[in-house]
Amino acid sequence: MDTADAQIQHLLVRADDVWKAAPSAAAAAAARQRAESLLEQARALLPEVSDDDRRLALAGAVARRFADIDRLDLDQRLRPTPGMRTAPTTVADPTRVPPGQRLTPGFPVLHVGRAPDLTPDDVRVAVTGRVRARQVLDWSSLQALPEVTVTRDFHCVTGWSRLDNAWTGVRVRDVLATADVRPEATHAIVSGHPAYSANLPLEQLTGGDVLLAWAHDGRPLPRQHGGPLRLVVPALYGWKSVKWVFEIRLTERDVRGYWEERGYHDLGDPFREQRFRDGA
Ligand SMILES: Nc1nc2c(c(=O)[nH]1)N[C@H]1C(S)=C(S)[C@@H](COP(=O)(O)O)O[C@H]1N2
Ligand SMILES: [Mo]
């Protein structure tokens, strides 16, 4: 076993100890920070693990712990969001809720880094890669496409689901059509500010309910939820719904995004509980 492997395992044990030992709610926040910094160190060592299978397994172990920490923090974040419609927390049809999910009346905010402060004037969405006519769409060219509203449930891999979100925007399908996608394109990697990305099979992006959205429940999309513009892919876990989107790159193979590089599933279907890749 190489040293990076041993070091990562050691960091994981320490992160677990720090987190589980937190004696009070106040200490929990500090413990969370400390555990996350240990996990960041473990993550930084991953490229040094030479064996591919081991690296994948360890990446999954790191990703799992980040998700576990998020999950333990859930109750805090499940409260209704001020000024926002309260989402239903009961359903007539239980099969509507994917396994392992809890319904939240609020709308938790999740992202890595700092939420950028953008206005519609700042919005540019580049459609690049395997296209015949590379595009950079600004706010007015996006608004010129047919506007649609779809009402869909939203499922985050950390365990919360928010039902009945009305998203308004344009279909990604229509956005892609402006760039004339080449036949060899099979996947896309979508990027958002400040430094986030997620990969998807192309057919997941061209569904009729996949939008670049600028409104939620009839109001302009709040900044913390990706305003002015975010991707919404209702059929997949929330990490694919890139906020503050600035590029859709069409590719000939699956190029991993932020969380996928860290062990999350390449597809991420909540009903199949595709949270992590096999072996991760
Ligand atoms: N730019 C960007 N988009 C992002 C993320 C991020 O870290 N950065 N996090 C994703 C994750 S993990 C989830 S669950 C959803 C959360 O969306 P919300 O904050 O509106 O609930 O945004 C996704 N989009
Ligand atoms: Mo998420």
Nearest CA, atom 9, ligand 1: 111
- How far apart are alpha carbons 278 and 22 in whole angstroms? 31
What is the predicted pLDDT for the residue at 279? 56
What is the predicted pLDDT for the residue at 1? 63
- CB–CB of 9/47 below 8 Å? no
φ, ψ (nearest 5 deg) of residue 189: -120, 125
The ligand 1 atom at the shortest distance from the C-alpha of residue 193 is: 1
pLDDT per residue of the chain (280 residues) written in tens, 0 to 9: 689 999 999 999 999 888 776 656 566 778 888 999 999 999 999 999 999 889 989 999 998 888 877 776 666 667 777 788 999 999 999 999 999 999 999 998 888 888 999 999 999 999 999 999 999 999 999 999 999 999 999 999 988 999 999 999 999 999 999 999 999 999 999 999 999 999 999 999 999 999 999 999 999 999 999 999 999 999 999 999 999 999 999 999 999 999 998 889 999 999 999 999 875 4
CA nearest 154: which of 84, 204, 105, 218?
105
CA of 119 to the centre of ligand 2 (A): 24
What is the predicted pLDDT for the residue at 77? 67
Mutate to test the pocket of ligand 1, among 66, 73, 110 (most ligand atoms within 8 A of CB): 110
On the question of a cis peptide bond just before residue 222, with omega within 30 degrees of 0, the verdict is: no
Residues 6+ apart with CB under 8 A from 274: 237, 265, 267, 268
CB of 268 shorter than 6 A to ligand 1: no
Element (H, E) at 161: strand 160-171
Residue-by-residue DSSP string for 70-88: HHHTHHHH-SPPTTSPPPP
Residues 6+ apart with CB under 8 A from 18: 31, 34, 35, 38
Residue with tokens 């998203």: 167
CA of 243 to the centre of ligand 1 (A): 6
- Which ligand is closest in space to the CA of residue 112? 1
CA of 110 to the centre of ligand 2 (A): 6
Half-sphere exposure of 160 (CA within 13 A, CB side): 22
CA of 82 to the centre of ligand 2 (A): 21
Nearest CA, atom 20, ligand 1: 225
CA of 191 to the centre of ligand 1 (A): 11
What is the predicted pLDDT for the residue at 188? 98
What is the predicted pLDDT for the residue at 107? 92
φ, ψ (nearest 5 deg) of residue 253: -145, 170
CA nearest 98: which of 150, 152, 157, 165?
157
CA of 136 to the centre of ligand 1 (A): 23
CA of 46 to the centre of ligand 1 (A): 24
In the sheet with 245-251, reading across from the earlier edge strand, the strands are: 135-138, 124-129, 245-251, 187-192, 196-201
- Which ligand is closest in space to the CA of residue 104? 1
Residue with tokens 């030479």: 50
Residue-by-residue DSSP string for 7-44: HHHHHHHHHHHHHHT--SHHHHHHHHHHHHHHHHHHHH
Dihedral in degrees, nearest 10, Cα atoms 174, 148, 114, 246: 10
CB of 107 shorter than 6 A to ligand 1: yes
DSSP code for 114: P
CA nearest 185: which of 240, 251, 118?
251
CB of 112 shorter than 6 A to ligand 1: yes
- How far apart are alpha carbons 106 and 102 in whole angstroms? 12
- How far apart are alpha carbons 145 and 149 in whole angstroms? 13
What is the predicted pLDDT for the residue at 72? 67
The ligand 1 atom at the shortest distance from the C-alpha of residue 224 is: 19
CB of 275 shorter than 6 A to ligand 1: no
